[in-house]
Every structure is written in structure tokens, then in C-alpha cells.
């Protein structure tokens, strides 16, 4: 009865494959968790709506070198059959890509989305996507919630509509990757 599924790669590969099959065409979103566990998602990348990963996990799934440029990582993920993804980097922009294109969003100060805020980023982005926003707009909302989580509000930050709106004003619009 769910509109979508958000899972993580802590599940065994067989369970992830079964979950995708049971979704019966509804979107399945996944968190990569670690480079080693991200490999569990590889057989079903083409069936996932979006994968949330950090740079190390993206490099593992894309099968590119550690010094790969942002576009090379995205190209590698697309070659691996991934339709859409979000890639965070501790000290860099949040990358997003889907069938429309690839873009980045530079988080406001402190300038990073911590791994501990990754769940908040994923949850808020998926919620915004399910509410009809484009990935660009949804990821901006996800970055705003991750920023609130990174500021000591915890993994499930409690915030008001006003504090969220204020945080969202600090997140710049997405910029196309060159």
C-alpha cells in the first residue's frame, strides 16, 4: 500500500532483490551505507529510482578511480545502469543526476552534509519527490533538512515550518555540471 520504498544496503542482496520485486513498479530508493555494502545494490541499479551515496560509495559503484572528476563518477554510475543518484562529499557540493541532467548544490556554511545527516537528506528528498517536486527542487529541500540535522538537531530533527523555510533560503539553486 506504500507509495514508495526507502531501504538501505544493510539488507542482503537476495532481500534487496525481493524487495524490488515486491515493489511492483513503485519507486524504490536506496541508501548505499558503505562502499562494501553498496555492491549489494549493483544487480538492481536499473530498477532503483534513486540511490543516495557518499563519494566513496559512488566511486565503488561507478568503478572509477579515487581521483575521478564529478562528471566521470556520474557517467560511471549511468554506465552501471543507475537512472538517478545523489552523491555527497564531506567538503564539497551535493551532486544530483537523473534523466534530465546532472547538477550540484553547494550546501551553505558549515559547507558540508555529514554522513550522520545522510538519512535526513534522503528522507526529506524522497518526501519532496513524492510530493511532485523535481529532483533539483527536492534535493534543495533535502540539503536544508540535512543542514538542520548537522547543526545538532539530530538525525530526525524536529523543526517548524518557519525554521525549515529559513534553512531553505540559505540553500542555493542547483547548478548544472559543466
- Over range 69-79, report the average pLDDT: 96
Please enumerate, as own/partner, the contacts of 98-102 that have beta carbons within 8 Å and a separation of 24 or more: 98/50, 98/135, 100/134, 100/135, 101/176, 101/177, 102/70, 102/71, 102/74, 102/176, 102/177
Model confidence at 111: pLDDT above 60: no
- Over range 90-103, report the average pLDDT: 91
Over the chain, what is the mean pLDDT? 90
Find the radius of gyration of the CA atoms of the chain. Answer: 15
Looking at residue 129, what is its pLDDT?
97
Give the CATH number of domain 5-176. Answer: 3.40.1190.20
Looking at residue 163, what is its pLDDT?
87
Domain ranges across the chain: 5-176
The pTM of the whole model exceeds 0.95? no
Please enumerate, as own/partner, the contacts of 96-101 that have beta carbons within 8 Å and a separation of 24 or more: 96/135, 96/136, 96/139, 96/174, 98/50, 98/135, 100/134, 100/135, 101/176, 101/177
Cβ partners under 8 Å of residue 136, min gap 6: 96, 103, 173, 174
Bridge pairing between strands 175-176 and 102-105: antiparallel
- Between 1 and 72, the more confident residue is 72
Looking at residue 144, what is its pLDDT?
92
Model confidence at 112: pLDDT above 60: no
- Over range 29-34, report the average pLDDT: 96
Residue pair 169/143 in contact by the 8 Å Cβ criterion: no
Looking at residue 116, what is its pLDDT?
63
Amino acid at each position: 500500500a506504500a507509495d514508495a520504498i526507502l531501504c538501505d544496503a544493510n539488507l542482503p542482496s537476495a532481500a534487496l532483490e525481493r524487495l524490488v520485486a515486491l515493489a511492483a513498479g513503485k519507486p524504490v530508493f536506496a541508501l548505499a551505507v558503505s562502499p562494501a555494502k553498496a555492491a549489494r545494490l549493483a544487480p538492481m541499479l536499473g530498477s532503483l529510482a534513486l540511490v543516495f551515496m557518499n563519494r566513496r560509495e559512488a566511486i565503488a559503484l561507478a568503478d572509477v578511480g579515487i581521483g575521478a572528476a564529478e562528471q566521470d563518477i556520474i557517467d560511471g554510475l549511468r554506465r552501471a545502469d543507475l537512472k538517478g543518484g545523489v552523491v555527497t562529499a564531506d567538503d564539497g557540493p551535493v551532486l544530483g543526476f537523473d534523466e534530465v541532467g546532472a547538477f550540484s548544490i553547494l550546501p551553505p556554511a558549515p559547507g558540508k552534509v555529514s554522513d550522520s545527516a545522510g538519512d535526513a537528506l534522503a528522507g526529506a528528498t524522497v518526501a519532496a519527490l513524492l510530493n511532485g517536486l523535481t529532483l533539483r527542487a527536492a534535493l534543495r529541500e533535502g540539503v536544508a533538512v540535512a543542514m538542520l540535522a548537522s547543526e545538532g538537531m539530530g538525525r530526525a530533527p524536529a523543526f517548524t515550518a518557519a525554521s525549515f523555510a529559513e534553512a531553505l533560503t540559505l540553500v542555493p539553486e542547483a547548478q548544472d555540471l559543466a
